[in-house]
Amino acid sequence: AQSVTQLGSHVSVSEGALVLLRCNYSSSVPPYLFWYVQYPNQGLQLLLKYTSAATLVKGINGFEAEFKKSETSFHLTKPSAHMSDAAEYFCAVSDLAGGYQKVTFGTGTKLQVIP
């Protein structure tokens, strides 16, 4: 069964520092992977998705993620954190189950940006 593991439920970085949010997946087939962001009092929004076209995926707001099959990882990075990046981030994997789309979300990582 597919699954994703997000290491670290809370991450704190200083404004301007590198952001690194970790996600490891488990899937029996080449996965479709996603990162979502959730701002307070809002639903989840798509940041970026991996669909095997390229291992380095660029998303919105300066975020990017690199798919590494050998490490079964899809970590999210941003070179320089901004205060507005404070939010909760979810990694997700999509697969087929019984012929239907099945999406599994990670437990989320809350990013705090310190001025």
- Binding-site ranges for other proteins (CB under 8 A): 32, 34, 36, 41-46, 49, 51, 90, 94-98, 100-103, 105, 107-108
Please report how close the Cβ of residue 52 comes to other proteins at its closest, in angstroms.
9
Contacts of 37 (CB under 8 A, 6+ apart): 44, 45, 47, 61, 87, 88, 89, 90
How far apart are alpha carbons 18 and 25 in whole angstroms?
Answer: 22
Could you tell me the maximum CA-CA distance found in the chain, to the nearest angstrom? 48
Minimal distance in Å, beta carbon 90 to other proteins?
A: 7
Choose between 64 and 95: whose C-beta lies nearer to other proteins: 95
User: Least CB distance from residue 65 to other proteins, whole Å?
Assistant: 14
Q: CB-wise, 29 or 83, nearer to other proteins?
A: 29
- Which is closer to other proteins, CB of 13 or CB of 47? 47
